[in-house]
Every structure is written in C-alpha cells, then in structure tokens.
Amino acid sequence: MYDVIFNSGFIGFLIWLLLFAVSTAALAIAIRCIWILRKSLFASSEFKEKLIPLLKNGDWQNAFEFCEHSHALVCTIAGEVLLAAHEKNDKERQELVSELLDRRVRAILRQFNTLSMCANIAPMLGLLGTVTGMVDAFMGLGTAMGPEKASILAISISQALYTTAAGLLVAIPAIACTVFFRNTLEKRIEHVTTLLEQFLKHLPAPEQERTTFSNTETAKLPR
C-alpha cells in the first residue's frame, strides 16, 4: 500500500493526502456527533425528578438555578424560558420554546451536514485519483515496448483504482453514520418536545408571573 501511495506521482500523492484529511475530519466529526447525541444531554431523569417538583412547589428561583447548572438540553431551554416567562403569555412562551429548540437543532444539524459533505467529497477525490492514474497509465504506454504494454497497463490501472476504493471506504461509513445520527436526533427531539410541553403546563398563569418571577429576574440583574 505504501508503494501505491508514494509511487502515484505528485498529483496522486496530493489526492491521497486529501483523502487522508477528509477521512480524519469525518472521524472527528462522527466522534463529536456521538458526544452531542449522548443520552446525558437529552436526559429526562433530571427534569422529572428535580425540576418538575421545584416547579410544582413554586420554587422558581431554585428551579432557575438548577437549569443554569444542568447540561441537559431540556433543562437549559427551560432555564431560558423561566428567565423570560414573566414577560410573555402562553402563546409567546410556546413560540420561545420552539425558537430555542430550533436554534439548538440547527447547530447540531450543521455537524451532520459537515459529515455528509465529507461523505460526498471522498468518492469524488477517489475518482479523481483514478482518472489521473489512468492518464498516467496511458501516457506510459507510449514509451513501453511490445509485450510490456499489457503488464504496465494492468499494474497502472490496478494502482489507480486504489484511490476509488479508499474514497468509498470513507464515504460508506460516513453516510451510514449521518443517517443513524439524524434518526437518533429525531427521536431525541420528539422526547424533548414532550418534556417541554410538560414544563409549560407547570408555569403559572401570565397574570401571576409578575410576582412569582420577580425574585428570579432580580437575581439576574447586574448590581
């Protein structure tokens, strides 16, 4: 394999470097996506066991502080809603929840889109390497003599096809990971949406909020 890479000429070697860079980037992004989609980020146990009881008891200050220190997506969104809820009616709260959730989903999808881009680039680079290798192979036929032509052509073509194979080896897992990550995200977001609907039901009526949220708002104001 080393002979194939280092004997592929300048353009061929450059394409191998690009393939290596794309494969490394795809692996790094896949690991990051796994970290983003970890269960702790979308955990509902904290929400059900800690946040909901605080909301039921009307302990808004501790509920807000809990959300501030939580890494769970549903809790971070709930914290931002708690901070602004006293200024909004029920419809505006729902719109705020949707906006905050959409913003975070778009940030996650950007990671998936980058992984998908790597999956699209890799086979194209592999095909480019094969094409340039074929060009070199046919150019080499011009200087070959008699029976040597067939063997030179066969060896050159086989070496040129390695880049296509390498590109596919990068693209296939990247595509599979992208599909898996998108399906997983969709299921997690459905669950988070259900939890946020429960959260909204535990907020006080808008006319009660000027007093119930006053301590929370005051705690956040700079002194």
Rg (CA), the chain: 28
Classify residue 64 by burial, with Cβ atoms within 10 Å: 0-12, 13-18, 19+. Answer: buried
Please compute the mean of the pLDDT values over residues 10-27 and round it to a whole number. Answer: 88
Give residue limits of the domains in the chain. 2-220
Residue 2 reports pLDDT greater than 60: no
Please compute the mean of the pLDDT values over residues 98-108 and round it to a whole number. Answer: 89
The residue with greater pLDDT, 117 or 66, is: 117
Reading the block at residue 160, the tokens are: 């040129």
| pLDDT tens track for 29-72 | 999 999 888 765 666 677 777 888 888 887 778 888 888 887 78
| DSSP alpha helix (H) spans, the chain | 2-6, 9-36, 45-46, 52-56, 60-69, 73-84, 90-141, 148-201, 209-212, 214-220
- Contact (Cβ atoms closer than 8 angstroms) between residue 133 and residue 160: yes
Please compute the mean of the pLDDT values over residues 112-125 and round it to a whole number. Answer: 94
Q: Which 8-state DSSP code applies to residue 42?
A: T
| pLDDT tens track for 154-187 | 777 777 788 899 999 999 999 999 999 999 999 8
